[in-house]
Amino acid sequence: MPHRSIIEPFRIKSVQAIDLPSVEEREQALQRAGYNLFGLHADEVIIDLLTDSGTGAMSAQQWAGMMLGDESYAGARSFFKFEKTVKDITGFSEVIPTHQGRAAERILFANAVKEGDVVPSNTHFDTTRANVEYQGAEARDLVIAEGTDPAKVLPFKGNVDITALRATIDDVGVERIPMVMVTVTNNSGGGQPVSMANLRDVRAVCDEYSLPLILDACRFAENAWFIKLREHGYEDRTPREIAQEMFSLADGCTMSAKKDGLANIGGFVALNNAELAAKCRNLLILTEGFPTYGGLAGYDLEAIAVGLNEVLDENYLRYRIRSTEYLAEKVYAAGVPIVRPAGGHAVYLDAKGLLPHIPPEQYPAQALAVELYRNGGVRGVEIGSVMFGKPQPDGTDIPAAMELVRLAIPRRTYTQSHIDFVAEVVIDVAMGAAEIGGYRITEQAPWLRHFTARFEPV
Ligand SMILES: *Cc1c(COP(=O)(O)O)cnc(C)c1O
């Protein structure tokens, strides 16, 4: 067969207009927002790559499903459809809906993590870390060393460092480890996948110490696709079978349906431990809602149930992973340093590599993110010392391991020419890198400061 492009496996049924504000409007917007791109109005952005969370386009099947939503307070039909779908994919016996992933984390950690505990993971996502710390515990990242080297090309850079995991458990004492978590794919580590072999090794350590293994499963389908592409023995397995095998190695998961649920809102905790699930449900009732809706409308549960099946479609996953890789290839070919290989949901620009003249305390990745908006109305997000730096009592920060700008690709939302436009903006900004200056923080919150901090140019 002659070469054929991997195309968007859908046609567009409903559109939303986008527009590029003028240079002056962008500059004013930046000043008003204190140079924090979370403070922009979405209408001030032409291509919004802030997040792939809840920003995807739903399918006609999902919208049709929403009309079937059963809004009964207790025992809604939509809940049972949702529950059945989650059970089919994960195999976990207890399914608890939540309004999004962080609610799942809070409910689980409030019942399973206590002060002084240590929760190991490959890399905790920001809300996961914050929710662990909120319980007075430590969130410890144990990704393999290559996982923090942006230039190193490896098939599974999201893997857990098994030696470090063992050492952590021995060092801290098993009684202070409430669970081991693994994030698939590893969002804060560049969207890099975790291999089945590594999950099996983590499982073996957990078995040895009788510890539960919880997956942060937000991008389970993308991780499954990478395993199919890259791990020997999985070439002929379906994404669903691979996902089922991944979940079979764990005791539970937290999930944001805003990612691989292909929904605009929603999440869940799923567990095998019925006693823990009962405690989680009690807390759910206090803050989210009755256990058969968990803070969601019946129609949201329908959309998630359909989305969780659509996300495992091979045509969808082939296009999804290829479209991210396409952006990465374009900017890398032009000499822009990025995390390689491309992650599943995002391309991560390496600001440390591109802006070596800006020290970490002047937030090079923040500077790069601001510049992408200033240049072309493209919004990405800083994943560096603003998000993960540790503020010290003397006002300085311990910098993050990497200074990245994440360009997250919403699911089924932008076309190839949109992505070409983004690549043009990135390359243009990179050409003028030497002129870009750093920022200082003028206001910040005690946790998750990146959402609301204000900056000024140094
Ligand atoms: C998005 C995300 C979460 C949190 O989910 P929300 O729905 O945003 O609350 C947790 N972990 C990972 C890896 C994520 O990407």
Digit-coded pLDDT (tens) for 155-177: 999 999 999 999 999 999 999 99
What pLDDT does 188 receive?
82
Looking at the predicted structure, is the pLDDT value of residue 290 above 80? yes
What's the whole-number average pLDDT of the chain?
96
Tokens coding 208: 């040895």
Quick one: average pLDDT of 142-153? 91
The atom number, within ligand 1, closest to the CA of 51 reads: 1
Pocket test for ligand 1, best of 99, 106, 127 (most atoms within 8 A of CB): 127
| Residue 356, pLDDT score | 97
Would you place residue 97 in the very low, low, confident or very high pLDDT band (cuts 50, 70, 90)?
A: very high
What confidence tier does 36 reach under pLDDT thresholds 50, 70, 90? very high
Residue type, 329: E
Q: Which amino acid is at 258?
A: K
Query: Ligand 1 centroid vs 101 CA: distance in angstroms?
Result: 5
Cα gap 189→340, rounded to integer Å:
11
Best of 100, 215, 254, 256 for a ligand 1 pocket test (most atoms within 8 Å of beta carbon): 256
Which residues have CB under 6 Å of ligand 1?
53, 100-102, 125, 127-128, 183, 187, 216, 218, 256, 258-259, 267
The pLDDT of 191-214, averaged and rounded, is: 97
Residue 397 has pLDDT above 90, yes or no: no
Task: Evaluate if residue 395 carries a pLDDT over 90.
Answer: no
Alpha-carbon distance of 294 to 289, in angstroms, equals 5
Q: Does the pLDDT of residue 134 top 90, yes or no? A: yes
Phi, then psi, of 135 in degrees rounded to 5? -85, 0
CA-183 nearest atom, ligand 1: 13
Strand 378-379 and strand 47-48: the pairing is parallel
Q: Measure 217 CA to ligand 1 centroid, in angstroms.
A: 9
Separation of alpha carbons 189 and 187, rounded Å: 5
User: Which residue has a Cα nearest atom 4 of ligand 1?
Assistant: 101
pLDDT tens digits, 177-187: 999 999 999 98
Q: 102 CA distance to ligand 1 centroid (A)?
A: 6
Q: Please choose from 187, 296, 387 the residue to mutate so as to test ligand 1's pocket, defined by most ligand atoms within 8 A of CB.
A: 187
In which band, very low, low, confident or very high, does the pLDDT at 281 lie, cut at 50, 70 and 90?
very high
Domains and CATH numbers, the chain: 23-52+313-457 (3.90.1150.10), 60-310 (3.40.640.10)
Residue 372 has pLDDT above 90, yes or no: yes
What are phi and psi for residue 76, nearest 5 degrees? -60, 145
Residue whose CA is closest, atom 3 of ligand 1?
Answer: 101
